[in-house]
Structure 1
């Protein structure tokens, strides 16, 4: 359509201005396009350098953070995709929430055994904590953000909202009354047990208190994110159950999910891959995404669903069978479209792979992916996501 419009306008200009003027116009137009391409190439090179700097900063800050933790703890436990770990300012109190296993741990390094009142206070703080407060307490993410914002010109940040992290899981209510919160903490205290362990700090011990999260935690978290998931799955004509299944498999609904790749948030967005491709659609050009941006649940799901859309409706659009295309999209979300092609051709040539895929049934495509994908992680990922899609059909 754009080409036809240019030809039409060009024809009008030819008859309006004459041959000499038309040639001048074409030269000017070609010069403009050349300058536009050169400007984008320059921008893209700058952005790639910034991505590399981002990775370097993440690695350095991870190592620095782990060293600081190691001064007090035998194992430097940090947040992962499925686990949120938070330390007090002096590193002597550790709160860990394992969303996958459904477990809360509160550990204290001290000379004397903590009272029930002290543990209750820590549990109350954890239950009422929101993403804004969590980010403010997160030394590692704040350091990474501060450094990359100074170094990068093309970066998006966000102001995090006061969205409760665990309250809906524990109480299944958005705004419970204070008396309900107190009852919940008392109930958690009764269900847990305090254990004494050796400490790395001389003259002190580790006191660990462990409790279980409710078994319906995944469904409760899924309902919390329902408005956002529906908003973007509808926008991109995606099955909402697919989006939920990917969130479940990527982070177990941990909004503060993090890995050293780096990847952040519910849908584990990697700024240099999914983030780069999705932001080109959203902002008109690729940009860097900071930790604060990707810890914002709405922005994270927006980026994740945009990337699924790109995979399903753009990169893999020529796969004719919708189910075959779905299997390939799920695998590609984890490992990239090039590695999906490897399962069928031994190369990253997507066009060649699609020709082979179109000669196969969906079950044959699935079996080939499970047998020949380059990484076991992606094979297991495909199994988990396809199984979990059915879990979220009713939401």
Structure 2
């Protein structure tokens, strides 16, 4: 933990957070959290699948003898005391690195850290949309997200999202509701995200306790995530680490890129070849960090862009590209990337769980046709865990 070198005189309690980005970015004059800055923080995360959460830190420079909940009311004035007490009870607030009670009295030198949800925003209208549910209990729901579905409402996309569909599901099919964490900014229950055109396994929280505990697992890289992708080219070696930092593309706003400067963040992907075809490869990917577009950028950087990923150099395949007798229809209309398995510790039972999402129809057909027309060999890369027979 590194303290800011020269905090502003009016913000004597603000220190630098553990990610190296100053909490002062979210703090207004007078040492209070700025609502608009917090909203902008979460809006900036809407364009990808980043798992960032807003954290602020305060170190008391004098002995206040004030209750923790009342102190936070002073620091986060746009949130009610009841809301802040709920954050405390859901273990989203620590004092000197330990979970505390709302009644905890603060003293000089105490370090208060809190993870803040987005500020209040609009309600989400429920919509009856198809859902492929893999598991549901009182605290969470696991789904196999279809392609071309945005996870939550954002700029220009207020309907047709996974959250709209889940809201309808809970109202009409089962009991429960999405957690209220992230309800501000139209992201209730959202613990992590997938790109719009990436399909596969996702978990959403139905209780606030589940949300905070799952969120910590993603933040601390304690989840186990495996993907399958079909890429252009014949990948060698059959297994390797892709350890290249990522950041915003220097000239194209929508893209990300490998870069080696102060704006980049560490990113680690491990790939393992599962099936080798003529001109293509089926790759299993183990994700160790959760950067936006991470797999897509890493594979393109190696020279093996994902089939259909035209943002990063992939081409759309037609049926006749594999066999002239098949016709001229596109084989897949999006990037051939699927979140296949997700493992985590259940936030309430504390038992390890692993959920597997079968390939969506378009990607399953692509793999089937590649096997029929371009198969070279099966590859038993060490460390591969996805059961292809189970997901195809």
Interval of TM-score (by shorter of Structure 1 and Structure 2): under 0.3
Question: What TM-score results when the alignment is normalised by the length of structure 2?
Answer: 0.23
Q: Quick check: which one's helix share is greater?
A: 1
Q: Quick check: which one's strand share is greater?
A: 2
Greater length-normalized contact order (CA 8 Å, ≥ 6 residues apart): 1
Larger Rg: 1
